[in-house]
Amino acid sequence: MTVNEIISLAAASGRNLLFEDEAGALLETAGIPVNRCRVARDEEEAVRIAVETGFPVVLKVRSPAIVHKTEAGGVCLNLLDEEAVRRAYREIMEKARLVDQEAQVTVQPMAVPGVEVLIGMTTDPQFGQVIAFGLGGTFVEVLGDITFRLVPLLEKDAKDMIDSIKGSVILKGYRGSMPVDTAALIDIILKVSRLVENNPQIKEIDLNPVLAYPEGALIIDARIVI
Amino acid sequence: MSGAGPIDLHPVFYPKRVAVFGVTDTPDRVGYNILESILYGGFTGEVYPIHPRHEQVLGCKVYKSLEDVPEPVDLAVICLNQYATVEAVESCGRAGVKGVICNAGGYRETGEEGHELEKRLISAAEKYRLPIIGPNTLGMINNDGNFYSTFYPMKIPRGKVSIISQSGGIGLTIIHMAIDEGLGINKFIGVGNCSNLGFADCLDYLENDDSTAVIGVFIEGTSDAGRFARTAGRVARKKPVVVYKAGRLAATDYCTQTHTGSAAGSFHLYRDILHQHGVFTVDSASELVAACKALALQPLPEGNRVGILTHTAGPSVVMVDRLVPAGCVIPALNEETIRQVKRIIGSDDPPVTLKNPLDAAGLGFRRSTYGNLAEAMLADENVDLLLAVYCLHKTWELPASELIAAHEKYKKPLVVNFVGNWLGCRPDQEFMQKAGVPLYTAPEKTAVAAAALVHYGMRLKGGVSCDCK
């Protein structure tokens, strides 16, 4: 499917927030590396996908009624075997069906740990489309260590974003930890910039976390608003 | 401004014939003050005051209406209330006037009803492709054409710096600070509510205005911030642009909304995005004036390495604090310079620390010593520009001519921090600035001036960035 087709499909069913699998497909179309998730319509399918994917896996609820998945008890991490997947499926669905009879789950591989960063796009009322970059979690939320650039970005802008946050020392290897692949982060930032420039109907993108590794980077959770 | 192609703003800034709506004979009214401002400013074109009942104001014949004015006018200054202004703009459009200044407030900044009125004002103007300065503005000054149209009659020194300000009060603050700094102003544009002539339009105009070499901007917020940032970045490739953004807290949003009808927006976004576009930003009106002054007077440095000469350490500490985060480096002096310093001071083991910043302490007062030290530092190939600190003294004199000679010999930028009061420093300030060397009385201003020079030296001359400490 093309970016336009994915967006049209969501719009046609009255959703302005894409499902995680839709967001993943959209990002893949733009050449952005995503921890791809697949939709399971029932428990058996969840198990089958988990086996195909390889353990450990993550199960997440998939419902337009549940925006904050973790808070709603809709995320189960690090499921090591078939039995754990079945248990997680039932737990998630029990809670989800209280608010949405049509709720489903997605299955994705459990990613190996890396340095958590955030890459986002917001539509500012004064500037229009703006790209954000910061370290994930508390660095952004509590310390406000985040930096913005106007779309479209040049390569020097993406590089400068990575250098200009206070936490950039962490990305460059701190106390013996390996430096992360900043070229991979720059590549994602530039691809997001191009994606939203070519598709102004995208209002918001929140890739959080993106896991940055010594080689490569991977988007673990993607939220896209149209 | 919407519509096909850019509007020619030349007749607005360089009018030959000007109509002034709402002229009265009462000195406490805007209509009187605007006419007074135009006359006092020495405008050499024709002025046509308009009022239905007056015969004569300030020695000028008053016309009953625009239709009665015998010649077509280029610019109309409208000093009527917000409702009558809309009608006057309509009549200006019909008469083929090329631009208007609308001083009255009472539009978008007052709420829903005012917003509707402003939309009517804009559509009246757009029908005739008529650019509006304002509404809700102090007015406009073109010092290059002796045209002063503000309700604060004044006459200010002419120079190469033009100012765009969203606020009249901060506009006046900048103008008066510029007078104190001995900085000449070329044009002042009070954009006010930016109804159909915004920051980007004014920057576009000033980019091609040969009498403007440096542009200072005071902005609270604009709905067209993306275009503002891109335009500022583009113009700044040709001539330096310095931006002071106010409205930094969520709480200020309410104030700016009710001031010029624009939300302040996120300061964080403005800071990052202006940086992205290579625009130099400052944190106060006095920094804006300081930065513009250095950029107007001095050549741009070849690199980012700053030498500091002083005979008192404190100011150099304050400067380094401001310079290093701005991308400047404080390089080590080369060995030849150290030898020269020893020779000038007359000792192989002088009681000063031989490094940059060079603090000559008590040995630095003497005029010839200080001048020679400045020359030695400017000669150093590790130094791209020099900051010289000297304190006002009853006996010792600022080595003004020595500093100027050293600056001219090495063609490297020089900025002087003369520690003293305004009255005591004024004669030296005038003397030095006539020779193109900016003189400040505060280390913070000196540092921001140097940071601005380095910023545009790197950007416009492609200077080499050096990370050496």
Give residue-wise pLDDT tens across range B334-347: 999 999 999 998 88
Are the Cβ atoms of B273 and A127 closer than 8 angstroms?
Answer: yes
What is the chain B residue with the closest CA to A160? Answer: B276
Are the Cβ atoms of A130 and B273 closer than 8 angstroms?
Answer: yes
Residue B213 has pLDDT above 50, yes or no: yes
For residue A172, the distance in angstroms to the closest alpha carbon of chain B comes to 18
* Predicted local distance difference test score (pLDDT) of residue B468: 45
For B353-370, what is the mean pLDDT? 90
Closest partner CB to B269 (pick from A148, A157, A160)? A148
Residue B449 has pLDDT above 90, yes or no: yes
Would you give the distance in Å from CA B125 to the centre of its chain?
29
What is the chain B residue with the closest CA to A153? Answer: B276
For A83-111, what is the mean pLDDT? 96
More confident residue, B249 or B107: B107
pTM of the model: 0.93
Strand order in the sheet with B414-419: B358-359, B306-310, B385-391, B414-419, B439-440
Between CA B215 and CA B194 the distance in angstroms is 18
Name the β-bridge partners of B77. B20, B101
Residue A47 has pLDDT above 90, yes or no: yes
For residue B310, the distance in angstroms to the closest alpha carbon of chain A comes to 32
* Predicted local distance difference test score (pLDDT) of residue B469: 36
Q: How many CB atoms lie within 10 A of CB A206?
A: 16
The model's confidence at residue A68, banded by pLDDT at 50, 70 and 90, is confident
Chain A interface, best mutation among B272, B275, B465, by max A CB count within 10 A: B272
Closest partner CB to A126 (pick from B221, B268, B276)? B221
What is the chain B residue with the closest CA to A165? Answer: B272
pLDDT digits (tens, 9 = 90+) for B424-448: 999 999 999 999 999 999 999 999 9
pLDDT digits (tens, 9 = 90+) for B35-91: 999 999 999 999 999 999 999 999 999 999 999 999 999 999 999 999 999 999 999
Q: CB within 8 A of B349, min separation 6: which ones?
A: none
The model's confidence at residue B263, banded by pLDDT at 50, 70 and 90, is low
Between CA B353 and CA B356 the distance in angstroms is 9
Percentage of residues in chain A having pLDDT higher than 90: 86
Q: Is B46 helix (H, G, I), strand (E, B) or coil?
A: strand
* Predicted local distance difference test score (pLDDT) of residue B266: 84
Q: Output Rg (C-alpha) for chain A, integer angstroms.
A: 18
* Predicted local distance difference test score (pLDDT) of residue B251: 61
* Contacts with B224 from chain A: Cβ below 8 Å: 126
Among B342, B410, B351, B343, smallest CA distance to B375 is for B410
Residues 143-182 of chain A whose Cβ lies under 8 A from any Cβ of chain B: 144, 146-150, 153, 157, 160, 164
Are the Cβ atoms of B222 and A150 closer than 8 angstroms?
Answer: no
Single-letter residue type at A192: V
What is the chain A residue with the closest CA to B271? Answer: A148
Residue B259 has pLDDT above 50, yes or no: yes
Are the Cβ atoms of B272 and A149 closer than 8 angstroms?
Answer: yes
For residue A9, the distance in angstroms to the closest alpha carbon of chain B comes to 31
Residue A109 has pLDDT above 70, yes or no: yes
Are the Cβ atoms of B276 and A130 closer than 8 angstroms?
Answer: no
